[in-house]
Amino acid sequence: MPDIRLVDLEVIKRFSLAVRADAVPAEELLEALDADRALVMQAMRPKAARTAARTAARTPPRASAGKALVKPVRRRNAQPNPAK
């Protein structure tokens, strides 16, 4: 693939404070652009969708209707509660 002059790219002209290199291989440039595009697309999603995605990644699965995830612990020597 040919090298691409970074200073010729519109995104560099508009938003870059400095360019680290004059030219890069086209394949390397496309990889960087794809990564940046994914980041921008994620930021454009509605806030509720972003929050839900983060919460789902951190939250353990919930029990289905009426079923507990963890069984209660039974004590062998537990004393019954006296009736009042």
Q: pLDDT per residue over 44-74, tens digit each?
A: 888 777 677 667 777 665 555 555 555 556 6
Distance between CA atoms of residues 83 and 69, nearest Å = 31
CB 2 within 8 A of CB 26: yes
Contacts with 60 (C-beta within 8 Å, 6 or more apart), sequence order: 69
DSSP assignment of 72-83:
PPPPTTPPPPPP
Q: pLDDT per residue over 2-46, tens digit each?
A: 888 888 888 888 878 788 888 889 999 899 899 888 888 888 888
Residue 80 within any structural domain of the chain: no
Better pLDDT: 70 or 79: 79
> How many structural domains comprise the chain?
1
pTM of the model: 0.46
Residue 74 within any structural domain of the chain: no
Residue 62 within any structural domain of the chain: no
Q: Which domain covers residue 52, as residue numbers? A: 3-57
Residue 53 within any structural domain of the chain: yes
